[in-house]
Amino acid sequence: MKTPKFNSDQIPLMEAFYTLQGEGSHSGRAAYFIRLAGCDVGCHWCDVKESWEIGEKQISSINEIVEKASSYPSRFAVITGGEPLIYDLNPLCKALIDHGFELAIETSGAFELSGKWHWICLSPKKRMKPKEEIYKKADELKVVIYNKDDLKWAEEERSKVSKKCKLYLQPEWSKEEKMKELIINYIKENPEWRISIQSHKYLDIP
């Protein structure tokens, strides 16, 4: 992945939009999504593959991002990607917090943690393992289930997070019908887990 040069008051932005959080612990909550461009993790089932590459036109002013975010009623912002932690997120987080935002990040955890967060959702990927620091700080572990073997891997990941961390199993969207029943039955036997459904896709919202 080739990254164009940019200043500390800029960051590569794929898109930003006001919507409802569709999955995980904050599902149903009004949120301003800031999707950063760029990702080296490369999951084959990624549903936002267009976020992997970074173009010159995507280099955006942090001040402009925050100004637009502040034009909406909610003061809850979700930073996602791509993989947001390939960047130093301290400047973006500071600017948003200075404007009264509560911040959540969705990350694979494959890069060093930066920024200040009120909520960290760790969604680990097999191709690039998370950093140890992320496991300790994660508020939410969300494991995408693509096949039956992923349940065993989910338990391995669970053993690395803190006891306060909320545990979610989420069916991969293209396998949703097949995996949903498997996950439901698994959670009945292992009730410390919860199911995460991508409700925004059912509701047809961004």
pLDDT digits (tens, 9 = 90+) for 122-156: 999 988 899 999 999 999 999 999 999 999 999 99
pTM of the model: 0.91
Instruction: Kindly list the domain boundaries of the chain, sorted by start residue.
Output: 10-203
CA pair distance 146, 130, nearest whole angstrom: 19
pLDDT digits (tens, 9 = 90+) for 56-105: 788 999 999 999 999 999 999 999 998 999 999 999 999 999 999 999 99
The CATH number that domain 10-203 falls under is: 3.20.20.70
Structure tokens at 97: 């917090």
Mean residue pLDDT of the chain comes to 92
Quick one: average pLDDT of 185-195?
98
HEC profile of the chain:
CCCCCCCCCEEEEEEEEEEECCCHHHCCCEEEEEEECCCCCCCCCCCCHHHCCCCHHHEEEHHHHHHHHCCCCCCEEEEECCCHHHCCCHHHHHHHHHCCCEEEEEECCCCCCCCCCCEEEECCCCCCCCCHHHHHHCCEEEEEECCCHHHHHHHHHHCCCCCCCEEEEEECHHHHHHHHHHHHHHHHHCCCEEECCCHHHHHCCC
